[in-house]
Amino acid sequence: MAQTSFLSWARMCLAVAGIFTGLLLAPLTAAAANAPSPSAPAKGASTSAKRNPPFVGVVQKVDTQAGTVTLNGKDGGRVFYVNAETRITKNGQPATLKEAKVGEEAAGTFKDVDGRRYAISLRLGPKPDTEPTPKK
């Protein structure tokens, strides 16, 4: 009978210890659940900073040796660097920097790295007309 009392007493101690542990850890787990994860953006933070800004203008100068195209701008022109990663199109088809002509329209997106504007995409000439396909 003494062994049964001891087992009952041990079970009761474990149950009480479990309750106290739960009461002590509950505030910590609730705080951890409400804390923002390090990879998640803070509330109200703009995610547009990750977007590449657009540009539109008229080609003023093309330098295939330096890999640059200069578009008109308020302060004498904006220089965009073109590299192997730049997606260049003309009339909706893939193109090269050599196909750029002074006086034609150009548009695209760029990223600023150490004060230089690197073109991510570059469209030469007018925007191609795209007819919307009728829905059936």
Q: Which of 85, 91, 93 is nearest to 121 (CA)?
A: 85
- Which pTM value belongs to this model? 0.58
Q: What's the CATH class of domain 54-124? A: mainly beta
pLDDT of residue 69: 96
- Contact call for residues 122 and 106 (beta carbons, < 8 A): yes
* 60 vs 34 pLDDT, higher one: 60
Lowest-pLDDT range of 32-41, 60-69, 100-109, 127-136: 32-41
Q: Percent of the chain having pLDDT more than 90?
A: 49
pLDDT class of 47 with cuts at 50, 70, 90: very low
Least confident of 32-41, 65-74, 89-98, 111-120: 32-41
CB-CB contact of 111 with 52 (8 Å): yes
Three-state DSSP class for residue 99: helix
Q: What pLDDT shows up at residue 41?
A: 47
Q: For residue 27, how far is the Cα from the chain centroid?
A: 35
pLDDT at 131: 62
Domain regions of the chain by residue span: 1-33, 54-124
Model pLDDT for residues 22-38, shown as the tens digit of each residue: 666 666 555 555 555 45
Residue 119's pLDDT is what? 96
Looking at per-residue pLDDT, the higher value among 109 and 135 belongs to: 109
